Chain A
């Protein structure tokens, strides 16, 4: 004490040094150069792999269908894995190779899958009392364009090469006039999702786009600030609803089980709540003939696109 009274500078120095120090927490040590040994994959429980085609962005698809598919898996007593791909063609290939058990598919790709390997419809969603839907051709809300012809030479967004509402319908309209989209429009792009196309038009990235009516309606409810910046200039005739599709070689029991679960989801409160997210009333059966119109459009477009020596934008 005497020392501290006579040497205040020493006390001050000690206090400052003590203040400069502080407590330290333990830190784990890892050798980055030492690789972990490969582990044998544990035998997995059979998983129900269901793909959701690229209707919308992967995030939106997951948000819309994750709960429904989890319910499906729970009812069937199997874990469910949701699989997504960037294009409809990849989804078709997954089903064709039986790398997935089922696909929530767009109508156009279904027609293609049916043609290639006899894909079967498990069920279709009924939305707004209907099992059909339309294509919308949309432009920015302040655009002067009033018809498809006004969009000649301008930029246009499609969603996927195989999409009915996202390309086929507009390609069909142009094919009827002897035109192909890539030569009619000044610039085209594939956005890989109808919500992406709607946002591209709303943001003024493109002059127009062809989108799924159901997704536009859903966005108008969920994000009115986005949808309100677009305007519909053309509505298509109704097309058969996007089906839930399986491989023809799928186990009959599993097929029946899935069909039963989907068809009965609307019967309880929990199921209805899950279906409400993507706006589905219930799942119902659907006949393949509902997609004949799409088949005809595909044939017409294929014919036009295969015609050699056609001048850009010139009618036949």
Chain B
């Protein structure tokens, strides 16, 4: 029993509780009403009986004193006739002898003894074949002449009481039914909403992180659904980050080993190639026709060796990720210093760089060199995607208690299908051989370490924009990886 109750659904429990509560309090209230109403009606009934008996006694006194039994009898009969609930009237003298009564078949045995001290008056209950009767006695002339007795039927009161109670009972039953129906409707709706939330939670548990709880009401369940959706989105993001971090860590390890292994033969090849290049400049060798194209081939080989070295250097640089060296950093200054390094590159790209620096931004707690690395990569990326005469915009601003840096260009923009993958290692949109695809992955890693965010989006007027948001005071990192930052390339600026 205990186990089956614990296994019952929310709807059943609420319904049972509501019905039980209404039933219990309904019974209590009905009981109190019954008791109170019964006492009230009984009291009024007795008061009425006493009033009738008093009038009868006052009116009957002269008849008793003058032995006018006919008038006394007529008074008793008329009094009984006037009220439906008077069962009988009788008068006793001071010696207890019945002077007159309204019983057609004779005065009943035992009735006169009901009131032992009738001279003082009072009310006694009598059980008869006509039901319970209140025998109300009032003294005649203070008891010196005897007493008057009026028998009032309680059934009349009971009948009225039952009638009222049935009405109340019907109303209470209707209220109970209405309450139960209302509780059923409300709990059904509640249970449906809870069930939808449970289903969504189970789907998320099975790995479907795209599941969303569809409950937009403003009540507690609506807030729970909203919190659930936020939690699921955060979970998805965390999973993405974990996957990427794991991938990055794995790639880092692999890259480090491969680069290490390749670097040595590459160095040897570079030395040999350089030696051959030097020899190929010899005039004697240049005169021989079969060595005419040797310098060209050797130059190509040298270039490719250096390209491979660059790749291994990039890989090693990516693998040898270091923790930030924290210090207070002026982001505007970092931007200016980074642009100063890129002067020749700007000329080469034949583009213009427009600065929109906020000035007076709060200092960041960050690694200045790593931030320069990020800006460098973003600016080089922008230059690579600009056409001739294009523009690059660099903007800084305060945002959400931190600082935002945006690098925008007037280039060709980013294809929507590329946006989610921009920050993946080795993902590149450049032609083969023109990039390793590690630049944005490095930016993402550095931003994560600073507990910031980096986003890529297309500008409405054309081109792309990359926005980095960094907190002024990053919280202490947990587990060696910055878990609070995020990189998004989903088309949002």
Contacts and interface: CB of A to CB of B under 8 A. Distances in A.
Interface residues of B, number: 36
B65 A32 contact: no
A33 interface: yes
A90 to B, nearest CB: 8
Interface in A5-38: 9, 12-13, 16-17, 19-20, 22, 25, 27-37
A229 interface: no
23 contacts: A16-B27, A17-B31, A20-B27, A20-B28, A20-B31, A20-B35, A22-B35, A28-B125, A28-B126, A29-B128, A30-B108, A30-B109, A30-B126, A31-B109, A32-B129, A33-B105, A36-B108, A54-B66, A57-B62, A59-B61, A59-B62, A59-B141, A86-B66
A213 interface: no
A84 interface: yes
B328 interface: no
A35 B107 contact: yes
Nearest to A29: B127
B166 interface: no
B21 A34 contact: no
Interface string B245-277: 000000000000000000000000000000000
B111 A16 contact: no
Given A9-B24, A30-B109, A32-B108, 11 more contacts: A12-B24, A17-B31, A22-B35, A30-B126, A30-B128, A31-B109, A31-B110, A32-B87, A32-B128, A35-B103, A37-B109
Nearest to A18: B31
Contacts of A295: none
Given A33-B108, A83-B67, A28 B27 contact: no
Contacts of A59: 61-62, 65, 141
Nearest to B29: A16
Contacts of B107: 35-36
B417 to A, nearest CB: 61
Interface of B: 20-21, 24, 27-28, 31-32, 34-35, 61-62, 65-68, 87-88, 103, 105-111, 114, 124-130, 132, 141, 144
Contacts of B129: 31-33
Given A35-B103, A59-B62, A16 B126 contact: no
Contacts of B106: 35-36
Given A30-B110, A31-B128, A20 B65 contact: no
Interface in A46-61: 54, 57-59, 61
A284 B109 CA distance: 51
Given A20-B31, A58-B62, A32 B88 contact: yes
Contacts of A62: 65, 141, 144
Taking residues whose C-beta sits less than 8 angstroms from the other chain, chain A's interface range is 20 to 34
A300 interface: no
B357 to A, nearest CB: 70
Identify the interface centre among B109, B125, B130, B144: most chain A CB within 10 Å of its CB: B109
A29 B126 CA distance: 6
A85 interface: yes
A84 B66 CA distance: 4
Contacts of B109: 30-31, 34-37
Interface string A284-302: 0000000000000000000
B28 A32 contact: no
A57 B106 CA distance: 33
Contacts of B20: 9
Q: Kindly list the 9 A-B residue pairs having the minimum CB-CB distance in the complex, ordered from nearest.
A: A35-B106, A20-B31, A58-B65, A16-B28, A36-B109, A29-B127, A27-B125, A84-B66, A58-B62
Contacts of A13: 24, 27
Contacts of A86: 62, 66, 68
Nearest to B114: A28
A20 B124 contact: no
Contact of A28 (B103, B105, B127, B141): B127
B324 to A, nearest CB: 59
Contact of A20 (B21, B34, B105): B34
A25 to B, nearest CB: 8
The CB with the most chain A CB atoms within 10 A, among B65, B110, B128, is that of B65
A284 B301 CA distance: 176
A66 B61 CA distance: 15
B6 to A, nearest CB: 12
Contacts of A31: 108-110, 128-129
